[in-house]
Amino acid sequence: MHPRMTELKARLRDTYDLDMTASLLQWDQTTYMPPGGAEARGRQLALLGRLAHESRTHADIGRWLEELREHERELPYDSDDAGLLRVTRRSFERATRVPLDLVSEFQHHASASYQAWTEARPAGDFARMVPMLERTLDLSRRWAQCFPGYESIADPLIDAQDFGMKASTVRTLFADLRAALVPLVRAIGDRPRHETSCLRQAVPEVAQQRFAVDVIRRFGYDFERGRLDRTHHPFMTKFSLGDVRITTKYRLDDVSFALFSTLHEAGHALYEQGIAAEYEGTPLAHGTSAGVHESQSRLWENLVGRSRGFWGFFYPRLQAEMPGFRDVPLDTFYRAINSVQPSLIRIEADEVTYNLHVMLRFDFELDLLEGRLAVRDLAEAWRARIRSDFGLEVPNDRDGALQDVHWFGANIGGVFQGYTLGNIMSAQLFEAAGRHHPGIPDEMGQGEFGQLRGWLRENVHRHGSKFTASEIIERATGGPLSIEPYMRYLWGKYGPLYGVREPEAASATR
Amino acid sequence: MHPRMTELKARLRDTYDLDMTASLLQWDQTTYMPPGGAEARGRQLALLGRLAHESRTHADIGRWLEELREHERELPYDSDDAGLLRVTRRSFERATRVPLDLVSEFQHHASASYQAWTEARPAGDFARMVPMLERTLDLSRRWAQCFPGYESIADPLIDAQDFGMKASTVRTLFADLRAALVPLVRAIGDRPRHETSCLRQAVPEVAQQRFAVDVIRRFGYDFERGRLDRTHHPFMTKFSLGDVRITTKYRLDDVSFALFSTLHEAGHALYEQGIAAEYEGTPLAHGTSAGVHESQSRLWENLVGRSRGFWGFFYPRLQAEMPGFRDVPLDTFYRAINSVQPSLIRIEADEVTYNLHVMLRFDFELDLLEGRLAVRDLAEAWRARIRSDFGLEVPNDRDGALQDVHWFGANIGGVFQGYTLGNIMSAQLFEAAGRHHPGIPDEMGQGEFGQLRGWLRENVHRHGSKFTASEIIERATGGPLSIEPYMRYLWGKYGPLYGVREPEAASATR
């Protein structure tokens, strides 16, 4: 090994460990920290953020990267060290362009804004958040301006989450997807609604947990290297490749919420737990993009967890754990968890309309950043869009523009497209896995997931950040990102479920 | 304020927050971390340790302290800033004398030794720990040698835990205490043993916890600024003055273990929660010494929690929570929790013999450090001493020289005397509190502790580290540290309990 590589890796390990330590501070803040700890915790997170930034942007790293250019050229593209150098270079260049002052300003503002939102949201008080959001927008623009040469000011923000993507590519992709989705949403809208009342029953938390744990163990989530806790909002976090934790929230009147959020977070966690152990402590030891990460969570949540085959095996187990379901036929349950219906809240939306929620947010992010929409007009624009997209009235901004934490945690731009990119990728990857392992559906019907997990681990997980999202998709599926498998999946599933058929003109093109 | 004070405080706050962050990493390691997280956690702790050391010893601090000498002389001795400068100077001088390499070596060795001990202890395999302990001894000597001018090589180690103490003062104090204790132990040994079988009953964890929580809430432990978790060994830790946590361990066949360990840790926590809020983020925001800290835990555990008055109020509540005690008379229970009996295990020892356990360890620490005892002979020396002090045979080193984590976590020297210093101080402080507030016993009999807690907060807690242990004792009790109140307390309690009387010669001197 090039001697500089050793020094570089040691330095990168410190940066990594500072990031991981900050993640533990955050995890504790949302799980177990008593209220009295909040003030100091904010200070401690700011300190760790500063130290990580200093470590990430240290002049040594720039010098070593220069010294290693020659060495990098000699390495095969897909060698680990070449990947490490690519990712480190990218991260160093990004981090060094942003002044530390702006980073700290962002961090402090994010705390203040989040704090205000926790009160403004329940009160439906959008006006209170206007100045906060204006400041976030200003800071986000200043952040983006550190990366001149963009087409859209949103590009640097999108690129930071989904490397290689920009506003124009996402916009085109989303326009195509929207055109393909609308006929499906309309066709379903003309059909009788699925009955979902069976899900609204009180199931004790312990039973919900036991069942969800049984499922994710079978998925392959490793509790020796993880754990499941309760938080207000479910999430996945990690403190090393050996410690990848998930959280969920139990709703006592809706068993599906904790269940699917647990499967979702377990999907994220399987990605991180599946990264090659030798990447530990390096920038390769993370999922490669927001989109690919979301493809893993959505794949396990939806393509597996809401499939008929899956429930053929698990429904009797659920009934054994939750006696209230003993009189509910599998088919009723299956239709309930796959009910498509326009709704106000993104995180409760079904697979089909979910993407329209994302597109709305993505469009507004561009409108805000590119100056076509003023923050003060956002809540009204939101209501208008929900009216036109879903035919629904937003009764309260709590369930409108205030609903998602992202913007109010000072993230505007680049934070929503990954959800829909993930949906698109999830189907493309699942289809490719099925081509390589035709036995996957049979396995799923027996509560086994070895082939699917193995294929994902081999083709997606183990690489961590070594390859970009498009490289992963190309290598794993043999072609570029495409909405076709996703639309095939949706029509294939919801066509029979709702007794609707794809217009011939559309299916003919695929 | 002197302008340099602002800079100094900002720097000290970073050091503090690095220490607190490391504490959270450790807390998580013992409470919730999955096994797979261990390796990275060790690395992360080493990193935080290094950063804290660098921060604590930064040349700026030395320069600022020099610049502030004049300012310090002008400040009243008991002003907060004078205290801050004294403590910072002491900590800076101590930290800068020890080379970073030695600190890291210690840290790595501590992990390895602790890890080995977790396996060697259950196996009773002292031989395996010999090389580990030899290395610990060597490192401890090298650490002590960074502070030349000592009388005993143990002095710097003792001073680090109990500032102002040295081997010779502790040795004299302990010799006096031993001489006073032996007649009491002998007298009790001649009397019939207390029946303790009522404690050996299975009580569900949730009932144990509910009762203990009720008690410590009444003590004044603030759950808005703390929480109670389960760990293998009970402890108290903090991440800020607003977040002071305790842990306990539930034994399903002995209700007294979790109960008294919870009261003990709550005593530590009351100290930290009682420190003046304005000290947050400074080196004043910690208890001032191991001894004073232990005085607080032992006071609440024993002088309060094992007293007759206390149980007059709480026993009916315990019986309501734990039906197995409904047929056990209060007096039987009271005698059971105050049974004096030679035993092998320090942490399970009664109030009277406990100190003999501590003295044994303190003596061996001196023997090891001063070269009178070789590590390989330690287990045998232990057995001989237990035989002569208690008349007991040690059947297995697991319950002999291997029983305490301290030495095997690479702490030899200075780590045990604090336990007995704490016992001595606890009685002296409790007596002084009673002089100022004669109503304390009545309050205790009603499950109220406001006067006692208020007096402790005012005279001990709020000062944090501003005053040394001897200053705290002087100011709070009006005199120097003395074993007299402690012996008065022990005879006053155990005399009637065992029907024994203090030899007149002894009582005449007090």
Take residue A213 and report the two structure tokens written for it: 């744990």
Query: How does the average pLDDT of chain B come out, rounded?
Result: 96
Through-space distance between the first and last CA atoms of chain B, rounded to whole angstroms: 48
Identify the pLDDT of residue A505: 66
pLDDT of B412 higher than 60 = yes
Take residue A385 and report the two structure tokens written for it: 């869009």
Identify the pLDDT of residue B508: 59
**Average pLDDT for residues B352-364, to the nearest whole number?**
97
**Average pLDDT for residues B80-87, to the nearest whole number?**
98
10 Å CB burial of residue A267 (0-12, 13-18, 19+) is buried
Q: Residues of B with CB below 8 A from A37's CB?
A: 225, 239-240, 242-243
pLDDT of B503 higher than 90 = no
CB-based contacts of B133, cutoff 8 Å, min separation 6: B113, B375, B378, B407, B408, B412
pLDDT of A502 higher than 90 = no
pLDDT of A374 higher than 80 = yes
HEC letters along A89-124 = HHHHHHHHHCCHHHHHHHHHHHHHHHHHHHHHHHHC
pLDDT of B509 higher than 90 = no
Mutate to test the interface with A, among B19, B21, B230, B238 (most CBs of A within 10 A): B21
Please state, in angstroms and rounded to a whole number, the distance separating the CA atoms of residues A157 and A94.
Answer: 11
Check if the beta carbon of residue B420 is closer than 8 Å to that of residue B355: yes
pLDDT tens sequence across A137-156: 999 999 999 999 999 999 99
Mutate to test the interface with B, among A16, A17, A221 (most CBs of B within 10 A): A17
pLDDT tens sequence across B218-245: 999 999 999 999 998 999 999 999 999 9
pLDDT tier, B502 (very low <50, low <70, confident <90, very high otherwise): confident
Using the structure block, give the residue that is written with the tokens 């702790």. B45
Please state, in angstroms and rounded to a whole number, the distance separating the CA atoms of residues B195 and B497.
Answer: 12
pLDDT of A222 higher than 60 = yes
**Average pLDDT for residues B373-397, to the nearest whole number?**
97
Q: What's B302's DSSP letter? A: I
pLDDT tens sequence across A460-484: 999 999 999 999 999 999 999 999 9
In 3D space, the residue among B409, B241, B297 whose CA is nearest the CA of residue A37 turns out to be B241
**Average pLDDT for residues B385-403, to the nearest whole number?**
96
pLDDT of B134 higher than 70 = yes
pLDDT tier, B345 (very low <50, low <70, confident <90, very high otherwise): very high
pLDDT tens sequence across A82-125: 999 999 999 999 999 999 899 889 888 998 899 899 999 999 99
**Average pLDDT for residues B191-212, to the nearest whole number?**
95
Q: Residues of A with CB below 8 A from B21's CB?
A: 21, 25, 44, 47-48
pLDDT tens sequence across A270-324: 999 999 999 999 999 999 999 999 999 999 999 999 999 999 999 999 999 999 9
pLDDT tier, A13 (very low <50, low <70, confident <90, very high otherwise): very high
Residue spans of alpha helices (H) in B231-329: 255-273, 290-298, 308-321
Q: Residues of A with CB below 8 A from B224's CB?
A: 34-36
**Average pLDDT for residues B58-72, to the nearest whole number?**
97
DSSP SS3 for B245: strand
**Average pLDDT for residues B389-407, to the nearest whole number?**
95
Take residue A229 and report the two structure tokens written for it: 């806790």
pLDDT of B510 higher than 60 = no
pLDDT tier, A503 (very low <50, low <70, confident <90, very high otherwise): confident
Q: Residues of B with CB below 8 A from A222's CB?
A: 36
Which of B32, B34, B242 faces A39 most closely, judged by CB atoms?
Answer: B242
More confident site: B373 or B509 = B373
Please state, in angstroms and rounded to a whole number, the distance separating the CA atoms of residues A158 and B19.
Answer: 36
User: What are the residues facing B229 on neighbouring strands?
Assistant: B247
Sign of CA dihedral A13, A18, A19, A25: positive
Using the structure block, give the residue that is written with the tokens 């760790």. A48
pLDDT tens sequence across A348-367: 899 999 999 999 999 999 99
Give CA B247 to chain center in angstroms.
14
Q: In chain A, helix, strand, coil percent, each to 5?
A: 70, 5, 30
Which of B24, B47, B48 faces A28 most closely, judged by CB atoms?
Answer: B24
Identify the pLDDT of residue B25: 97
Identify the pLDDT of residue B507: 61
pLDDT tens sequence across A438-464: 999 999 999 999 999 999 999 999 999
pLDDT of A504 higher than 90 = no
pLDDT of B506 higher than 80 = no
Check if the beta carbon of residue B486 is closer than 8 Å to that of residue B473: no
Full-prediction pTM beyond 0.80?
A: yes
Count the neighbouring beta carbons within 10 Å of the beta carbon of residue A388.
10
Mutate to test the interface with B, among A13, A16, A19, A24 (most CBs of B within 10 A): A24
Check if the beta carbon of residue A244 is closer than 8 Å to that of residue A269: yes
Per DSSP, the residues of B354-396 read HHHHHHHHHHHHHHHHTTSS-GGGHHHHHHHHHHHHHS-----
Specify the range with the lowest mean pLDDT, choosing from A37-46, A378-387, B468-477: A37-46
H or E stretch including A245? strand A243-248
Identify the pLDDT of residue A141: 97
pLDDT of B505 higher than 70 = no
For this structure, is B265 an active site residue? yes
Identify the pLDDT of residue A510: 54
Per DSSP, the residues of B19-54 read HHHHHHHHHHHHHT--GGGHHHHHHHHHHHHHHHHH
Does B41 contact A227 at a Cβ distance shorter than 8 Å? no
Query: How does the average pLDDT of chain A come out, rounded?
Result: 96
CB pairs under 8 A between A and B: 117
Q: What is the percentage of chain B residues whose pLDDT exceeds 70?
A: 99
In 3D space, the residue among B76, B68, B77, B53 whose CA is nearest the CA of residue B8 turns out to be B68
Identify the pLDDT of residue A111: 85
Identify the pLDDT of residue A262: 98
Q: Which residue of A has its CA nearest to B50?
A: A14
Quote the minimal CA–CA distance from A44 to chain B in Å.
6
Take residue B488 and report the two structure tokens written for it: 């008065």
Check if the beta carbon of residue A369 is closer than 8 Å to that of residue A137: yes
**Average pLDDT for residues A173-191, to the nearest whole number?**
96
Q: What is the percentage of chain B residues whose pLDDT exceeds 90?
A: 94
Q: What is the percentage of chain A residues whose pLDDT exceeds 90?
A: 94
Does A44 contact B239 at a Cβ distance shorter than 8 Å? yes
Take residue B144 and report the two structure tokens written for it: 């002590």
Quote the minimal CA–CA distance from B418 to chain A in Å.
29
pLDDT tier, B1 (very low <50, low <70, confident <90, very high otherwise): confident
Please report the domains of chain B, with CATH numbers, ordered by start residue. 3-151 (no CATH), 197-336+421-468 (1.10.1370.30)
pLDDT of B472 higher than 70 = yes
Taking a contact as any Cβ pair under 8 Å apart, which residues of chain B between 2 and 21 contact chain A?
13-14, 17-18, 20-21
Quote the minimal CA–CA distance from B379 to chain A in Å.
36
